[in-house]
Structure 1
Amino acid sequence: MTEQEWIVIGKVVAAQGLKGEIRVNPSTDFPERFEVAGQRWLRMPNQSPESVELERGRRVPGKNIFVVKFEHVVDRNHAETLRGAEILVRAGDRPELEEGEYHVSDLIGLNVLDVDTKEKLGIVSDIYSAGQDLLEVTDANKQKHLVPFVKEIVPVVDLVEQQLEVNAPPGLFGEAPQS
């Protein structure tokens, strides 16, 4: 399968306990991906994905971490070998979204234009969750800018044209005008 056929939903960060559970740092807004049993895939660095069966999972209270148990992982030693593995689902298994909601993987790589001038400001290079989502936009000079992903600042997201438009407050993409 090609890279575009997979969605990374999390990364194994540590073993949990003695019975093969693992701690996962999620990269999805859909907690059911770690709470509902079923098929997932694990991909170790520089290897092909391997099918695994998720038995169960739960969110750690107060943290953005899940503890999950895969069927074939029976002890801590085996769980430790999975540190750094990505947890994947097939791209076709993406949940349906409401209007105005987007999958993170659809936003990475979009061109970022000024809403008024249509000047290219950069490319979406990453997304962070910090109370609200922040788009990391890398400009032509490799400078990184964090843009709040709210309708007032990002009024247009056009996945067909592979771009979004930003109504940037003064100073967001450079020096603020002198008054």
Structure 2
Amino acid sequence: MLLIVGRIGKPHGIRGEVTVEVRTDEPETRFAPGAVLRTEPGATPSSRPRDTGPAAPPAGPPSGAPAAGAASPQPATDTGVPFRVPAELTVEAARWHQGRLLVAFDGVFDRDVAEALRGTLLAVDSADVAPPEDPEEFHDHQLVGLAVVTTDGERLGEVARIDHAPASDLLVLRRPEGRTALIPFVKAIVPKVDLAGGRVVVDPPAGLLDL
């Protein structure tokens, strides 16, 4: 099972660094130099256009009309082959800058290639993730899919994902009717996580699930 640990955002600077939207509570481990991350989707051609600057209008169609079958230009490697997002990316370096994680990957040396990676999801195999030492701590994948019930046993839905907010982690509750609600993952509101029973017990204050 692949676990999403981040999503590549916009390039930073001209040397290939990218911003990463962190989706793990262990970014220092997941993005340590030498860490190998799977990509989703992997090895697919980039569809993002490269800024090639102004060009002379082609002969044929009137100015401003697209040529039939024309495709957007794509970043290319040194050999001129269109860049393809690899199935894996290796972290060369990572640092925090103004609250954002900046990552440099091996082989990504310029802004064009960094731009082609934008939107790529980064993942690790759950088999490579050791369980937390603290019994009160949990990895995201352990919680996703668990039933969410009240202290009275009423089923509210299931955990769709975990959002890592600055103040606290948030359980994203998917309700049976399809809408979602956010539940702060703190002891006062989530008194029990029963992995063996496949459920999370919550005691939400009045109105929390209606926000």
Match of 1:54 in 2: 91
CA distance in 2, matches of 1:12, 1:149: 26
Residue 140 of structure 1 is matched in structure 2 by: 176
1:12 paired with 2:3, answer no
Q: Return the structure number with greater relative CO, CA threshold 8 A, min gap 6.
A: 2
**1:77 alignment partner in structure 2:** 112
SS in 2 for 1:84: coil
- Aligned-pair identity in percent equals 34
TM-score (structure 2 length as normaliser): 0.71
- Matched residue, 2:36: 40
Displacement of 1:151 in angstroms is: 1.2
Separation in 2, partners of 1:45, 1:69: 19
User: How much does 1:35 deviate?
Assistant: 4.8
Instruction: Name the structure where strand makes up a greater proportion of residues.
Output: 1
CA 1:47–1:122: 2 relative to 1, 3 Å: farther
* Structure 1 residues 40 and 25: alpha-carbon distance in aligned structure 2, compared to 1, 3 A threshold: same
Q: Deviations over 1:44-92 (max 9, x none)?
A: 447587122211110113x1x2111111111111111100111222212
Q: Helix, strand or coil: the match of 2:29?
A: helix
Q: Give me the whole-angstrom Cα distance separating, in 2, the residues matched to 1:38 and 1:46.
A: 19
Larger Rg over CA atoms: 2
Q: State how far apart, in whole Å, the 1-side matches of 2:92 and 2:7 are.
A: 17
Other-structure match for 2:138: 102
- Structure 2 residue 19 is the aligned partner of structure 1 residue 23: yes
How far apart in 1 are the matches of 2:208 and 2:24? Answer: 27
- Structure 1 residues without counterparts, runs of 5 or longer: 175-179
Distance 2:19 2:198 in 1: 35
Q: For 1:15 and 1:173, locate their aligned partners in 2 and report how far apart those are by CA, in whole Å.
A: 37
Contact 2:39 2:89 in 1 (8 A): no
Shift of 1:141: 2.2
Shift in CA distance, 21/42, structure 1 to aligned 2, threshold 3 Å: farther
Q: Write out aligned runs for 1:113-152 (5 A).
A: 113-116=149-152, 118-128=153-163, 129-152=165-188
5+ residue gaps, structure 2: 45-85
Is the contact between residue 3 and residue 123 of structure 2 (CA under 8 Å) also seen in structure 1? Answer: yes
Q: Which is worse superposed, 43-52 or 84-93?
A: 43-52
Contact 1:110 1:163 (C-alpha < 8 Å) held by counterparts: yes
Task: Give the structure-1-normalised TM-score.
Answer: 0.82
